Amino acid sequence: MLNSGDLAPQFALPDAKMDMIQLTDFLDKKIVVLYFFNGDKTPGGILEAIEFSDRVAAFAKYGAVILGVSRDDCMAHESFSDEHGLEFDLLSDTEGEVSALYHAQHQWEAKGVVRYGIDRSTFVIDQSGIIRHAFYHVTPKGHAAEILELVKQLG
C-alpha cells in the first residue's frame, strides 16, 4: 500500500478522447486528486463520479485537478462522461498497470478463473509529486466532499 509521504508512481494513461495524460503534466502546477473506481456503469462509480464532478470548480479554486481511473476503455469513458455531464478526465487503465502501481487492484478466483478488479481508492498528490493522503476501501457517498476538505488544507 502507498502512504502519505510516498512519492506518487508516475503514469501515462489515455483519457476519453484518447489523449495521453501524465502525472508529470501537473507537477509544479496542480494538486492531483487521483481516484480509482470499479467501473463506469456501477452504482458506486456513478455516485462517486457525479459527486466529484459537482465539485470541480471548488477543487480548481484550491489548485486541484480530478482524475478518475478504471479499467474501462476510452470509448466507454467517453459515453459515461457524456451521459452524466462529467467535468473532469476519466483515464483508461485497461491492463491494470497503473492500478497495480497504486496498489488499487485486487484479484480473486471464481470458478477456476482469476479475475482482476479495482479496490476503490483515492490519492491526493501535491505539486511536487508526493502523496499527501491515501485512502483504500473508499465508500463513494460523501467521499468527494471529504477529499475537498483535505485539499483546502493543502491550499
57-96 pLDDT per residue, tens: 999 999 999 999 999 999 999 999 999 999 999 999 999 9
pLDDT digits (tens, 9 = 90+) for 127-148: 999 999 999 999 999 999 999 9
pLDDT given for residue 54 in this prediction? 98
Cβ 91 vs Cβ 13: under 8 Å:
yes
Contact 115, 109 (CB under 8 A): yes
Which domains does the chain show, CATH number per domain?
A: 14-21+29-154 (3.40.30.10)
What pLDDT, on a 0 to 100 scale, did the predictor assign at position 107?
80
The answer to pTM > 0.85 is yes
pLDDT at 39 over 80: yes
Inter-residue contact 55 to 145 (CB < 8 Å): yes
pLDDT for 114 equals 81
